[in-house]
């Protein structure tokens, strides 16, 4: 498994070298969010190889989207 530091460094490299990288990540997360809304918990569990709880996946995805949109959970901007 890749150490977190290496993973973060690779993400930063991709963002620097490929200007559209952030856009693809954002659209990918939005697609995943829409897909999860359509699936039952059993299907979500299977989609992630039975390794993660569906509620945990949905919660984590929501937190990631909030951070990317620079907004607090109540919708107010962090900055």
pLDDT tens per residue, range 27-50: 999 999 999 999 999 999 999 999
**pLDDT in the model for residue 66:** 81
**pLDDT in the model for residue 68:** 78
Query: What is the model's pTM?
Result: 0.68
The pLDDT of 56-61, averaged and rounded, is 93
CB atoms within 10 A of CB 46: 12
Between CA 39 and CA 32, with CA 59 as vertex, the angle to 5 degrees is: 45
pLDDT for residue 71 is more than 90: no
Percent of the chain with pLDDT over 90: 54
């Amino acid at each position: 498994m890749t150490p977190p530091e290496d993973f973060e460094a690779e993400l930063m490299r991709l963002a620097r070298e490929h200007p559209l990288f952030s856009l693809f990540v954002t659209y990918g997360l939005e697609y995943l969010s829409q897909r999860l809304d359509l699936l039952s918990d059993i299907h979500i569990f299977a989609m992630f190889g039975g390794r993660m709880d569906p509620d945990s996946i949905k919660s984590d995805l929501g937190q990631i989207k909030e951070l990317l949109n620079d907004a607090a959970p109540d919708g107010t901007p962090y900055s």
